[in-house]
Every structure is written in structure tokens, then in C-alpha cells.
Amino acid sequence: MSSNALLKGSLQTIILKLLEENEKMYGYEITQRVKELTAGEFKITEGALYPALHKLEAEGLLSTEIQQVDNRVRKYYSLTRSGKTEVSSKLAELRAFVENMQRIVNPGLKPDFNI
Amino acid sequence: MSSNALLKGSLQTIILKLLEENEKMYGYEITQRVKELTAGEFKITEGALYPALHKLEAEGLLSTEIQQVDNRVRKYYSLTRSGKTEVSSKLAELRAFVENMQRIVNPGLKPDFNI
DNA sequence: AAAATACACCTATGAATCTTAGGTATAAAA
DNA sequence: TTTTATACCTAAGATTCATAGGTGTATTTT
């Protein structure tokens, strides 16, 4: 996804958070939503996204449901119960990461907690 | 480094930023400084650090200087001119990453710019 | 009508980054 | 004397992602 090296490791967090807000989404929709939320700065490639979705499903964090729309197949993903728990955990990790990076790059500055 | 998946890709940024503030540092010192700045939450492993330092040196961003201290060898790293330029670029990337993650996980919230 | 783009899924290969697990050696502390 | 701290290093494997494909339908553009 995109050319930003920092993005490594953040894809699961992004997927889980979007599904926390949207009940169910399909793969292509996720790529578009991320593009639109970040003004095109994050581009999730399908080569990264689909394996990530399959892995989250295999771990029991997501469940799937196929739908036919105009002779096209859509595979909708939703959070399972343990998926919902995992979202909080991933967001806590993200907050900790940002705080710690702030301590390194902004030494002497009070950390903020709005992420 | 540590168990946080988000850290993937942030090591170069950390190294370059620490060297921007310290003139010169050696490898072991970097691991200790990061541990102390993050209250032990980021643990940079030597298996990650040394290859990263060697790569940054090979790319011309860092220069080295050997020193003897009590019969022990220390290899000090400093930013080259292009290393100094690269710091700004990496920090800009970090800010962009955080802002975009905020747009995803805190939709409807004003981004902050203190990183 | 034909060609290109958008929609929608997928996988395989390789690159990059990290963890784990070693190895070498000196100095200090238990 | 053994462990911990200091200080450097590498090799093998895991994980994650980008690139580059493949399949097929629907819509838009030419």
C-alpha cells in the first residue's frame, strides 16, 4: 500500500477500524474508502488487501457473506465478536506507537492522545 | 524491534532523528536511548539495528568513525549532508502517516500537527 | 461497435524489514 | 566465578507488502 514505509503493519488496524464503523464492507469498497479518507495518499493494493482479509478471517476476527449484485459477486466482511475485541487492542497499539514516536521526534513536548 | 507491528518501517526515521539531535551516536547507545525515551516500550533489537545502520551508511546518509574506549571498540555514526536532508523528509512522511491514520480512526476529528 | 475504464474477485513472486538466535570479546557486578 | 552489561556482528526464517499477473462483468468513452 502506497510508497510510505511507515504503513507496514497498519493494514490490519485500518481494516478492523473501518469494519467497526460500517457493519459490513467488501474488499474493493475498503480500498476506495481508504483512498477517499486520505485524499489519495494511502493506496491499498489488492495484493496486500485480499491476503490480509483472508488471514483475519482465518484467525476468526472476520466473517464473510457472499452477495450477487448485477451478476457480480461481492464478498462482504464483518467483525466477529473477537474481531470487535481486537479493534480496541489494535487502536491501543496505534495510540502507543504514536505516543512513543512523539517522545522520540518531539522530545520535551507533551504527548497528545487524540488518536 | 518490540512486538508492535506498527514499528515496521520506522527504524530509519528513529535513527536519523536521534542523530539529528546528537551529532554522533554508536549502535548500542541508540538502543538504550530509544528504550529510555519510550519507557521500555520500544526495544530495538541489534539484529534490526546494525543492518539498518549499514544500509544508511551504504546509501550515503551516515558516516562512521571508530573510537577506542577502555579496550573496547565503538563505531560512531553521524549524519552526512544528505542524511540531514533525509531527516526532514522522513519526519514529513511520519507526519503524513499519522495524519492519515487519524483520518481513518478518528473520522470527523480535526487532525493535529504536533508530530 | 470497439476499446478503455471501472468494478470485483484472486494468487504468485520477490523485495524489504524485522525477529530470533546465534557468534566474538571486554568490563563490571553478583 | 558466573552473570550482566557493554559493544560489535551475521545468518535464517517470518511477516508484510508491492508488483504483476489472471478472470470476468458493467459502464463509459471513443
**A47 CA → D22 C1’, Å:** 13
Report the mean per-residue pLDDT for chain B. Answer: 93
Q: CB–CB of B51/B41 below 8 Å?
A: no
Contacts of B65 (CB under 8 A, 6+ apart): B24, B75, B76, B78
- The reply to whether B112 falls in a domain is no
**B47 CA → D12 C1’, Å:** 12
Report the mean per-residue pLDDT for chain A. Answer: 93
- The reply to whether A48 falls in a domain is yes
- The reply to whether A97 falls in a domain is yes
- The reply to whether A10 falls in a domain is yes
Strand C neighbours among B 44-103, CB < 7 A: 44-48, 51-52, 55, 70-72
- The reply to whether B54 falls in a domain is yes
Q: Please tell me which residue of chain A has the smallest CA distance to B98.
A: A98
For residue B5, which residues of chain A lie inside 8 Å, CB to CB? Answer: 8-10, 12, 93
- Burial (CB count within 10 angstroms: exposed 0-12, middle 13-18, buried 19+), residue B107: exposed
- Closest C-alpha among B41, B46, B114, B52 to residue A107: B114
- The reply to whether A92 falls in a domain is yes
**B72 CA → D1 C1’, Å:** 23
Residue type, A37: L
Cβ-defined contact of A103 to B38 (cutoff 8 Å): yes
Mean pLDDT of B89-115: 85
- Closest C-alpha among A18, A25, A27, A72 to residue A46: A27
Rg, Å, chain A Cα set: 16
- The reply to whether B72 falls in a domain is yes
Question: Positive or negative, the Cα torsion across B96, A9, B86, A110?
Answer: positive
Whole domain around residue A69: which residue ranges? Answer: 5-105
Mean pLDDT of A20-34: 97
Strand D neighbours among A 47-86, CB < 7 A: 47-48, 51-52, 55, 70-72
Q: What is the number of other CB atoms lying within 10 angstroms of the CB of residue A107?
A: 11
The model's pLDDT over A33-60, given as tens digits with 9 standing for 90+, comes to 999 999 999 999 999 999 999 999 999 9
Q: CB–CB of B10/A8 below 8 Å?
A: no
- The reply to whether A111 falls in a domain is no
What is the pTM (predicted TM-score) of this model?
Answer: 0.93
Residue, of B4 and A67, whose pLDDT is higher? A67
Question: What's the domain count of chain A?
Answer: 1
B36: contact with A, CB 8 A cutoff: no
Q: CATH no. for residue A58?
A: 1.10.10.10
Q: Is the CB of B93 under 7 A from strand D?
A: no
- Burial (CB count within 10 angstroms: exposed 0-12, middle 13-18, buried 19+), residue A88: exposed
Residue, of A54 and B8, whose pLDDT is higher? A54
